[in-house]
């Protein structure tokens, strides 16, 4: 399916177990590259608007289509699909999903498309924590975890292995910190989640809580404060690259 104003390509990459999978990647803009990882509801109009806004601000935006129907809100169907597909392990604590390898491969591919320039990544909800894990890869210069929610139903755990945590933490010490954000009243990403992130990464992650009862900071429950915080973060990271 096409997204108006965006070009696309199919990217085939490896999962952790050695299998390969292909997903379509939509892209738009000129400038430093940022990959936006989709939320559980899918690539909805609000996410497309976010990509357009960031592209207009001077970035090349990449949006991988990992699951769901573009433009269609179908959370129940998407959740059921993810529970039976091999890319995601929604409930795993101290272990990441196999799709992490595919994400790393895409980051490296995007870096090559930009003549070696490192990329930024933005994860939201389901994909929020992946932005932290991906900081370990040499292709990534910065990561924003917006309302990170995995593993589901375990607010005090992280969706990454001890090895991945150590590698990401070491990378942050060299590159600079990641950013993690949530609404104060978020029912899916509660205070213990950001506390667990801070405990695990220390100064490697800057955490920021915004007053409000929403969840999707940058899409369905828009926050100017969150957007400005994210854009200032990426401007600083690319300026330091």
Residue-level pLDDT at 241 = 62
Q: With 90 as the cut, is the pLDDT of residue 189 above it?
A: yes
The two tokens of residue 24 are: 């379509």
CATH level 3 topology of 7-240 = Rossmann fold (3.40.50)
119-158 tens-digit pLDDT? 999 999 999 999 999 999 999 999 999 999 999 889 999 9
Stated pTM of the model: 0.96
Residue-level pLDDT at 167 = 97
Instruction: Please give the Cα distance from 64 to 35 (Å, whole number).
Output: 8
74's torsion region: left (phi>0), alpha (psi -120 to 50) or beta? beta
Sheet of strand 119-124: strand arrangement: 7-14, 20-28, 60-65, 33-37, 119-124, 140-146, 178-183, 205-210
Identify whether 3 is preceded by a cis peptide bond (ω within 30 of 0): no
The backbone torsions φ and ψ at residue 221, rounded to the nearest 5 degrees and listed phi first, read -120, 60
Report the mean per-residue pLDDT for the chain: 94
53-112 tens-digit pLDDT? 999 999 999 999 998 889 877 777 777 677 767 888 888 899 889 999 999 999 999 999
Domain locations in the chain as residue ranges: 7-240
Residue-level pLDDT at 86 = 80
């Amino acid at each position: 399916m096409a997204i108006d104003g965006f070009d696309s390509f199919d990217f085939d990459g490896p999962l952790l177990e050695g299998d390969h999978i292909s997903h379509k990647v939509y892209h738009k803009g000129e400038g430093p590259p940022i990959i936006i990882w989709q939320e559980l509801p899918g690539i909805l109009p609000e996410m497309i608007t976010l990509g357009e806004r960031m592209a207009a601000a001077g970035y090349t935006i990449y949006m991988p289509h990992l699951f769901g129907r573009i433009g269609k809100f179908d959370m129940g169907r998407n959740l059921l699909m993810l529970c039976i597909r091999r890319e995601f392990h929604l409930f795993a604590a101290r272990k990441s999903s196999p799709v992490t390898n595919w994400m790393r491969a895409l980051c490296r591919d995007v870096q090559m498309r930009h003549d070696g320039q490192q990329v930024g990544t933005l994860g939201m909800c389901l994909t929020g924590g992946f932005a932290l894990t991906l900081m370990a890869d040499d292709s990534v210069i910065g990561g924003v975890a917006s309302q990170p929610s995995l593993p589901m139903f375990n607010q005090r755990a992280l969706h990454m292995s001890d090895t991945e945590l150590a590698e990401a933490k070491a990378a942050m010490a060299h590159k600079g910190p990641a950013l993690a954000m949530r609404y104060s009243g978020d029912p899916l990403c509660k205070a213990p989640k950001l506390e667990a992130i801070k405990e695990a990464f220390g100064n490697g992650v800057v955490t920021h809580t915004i007053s409000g009862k929403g969840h999707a900071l940058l899409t369905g429950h828009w926050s100017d404060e969150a957007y400005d915080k994210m854009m200032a973060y990426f401007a600083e990271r690319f300026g330091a690259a």
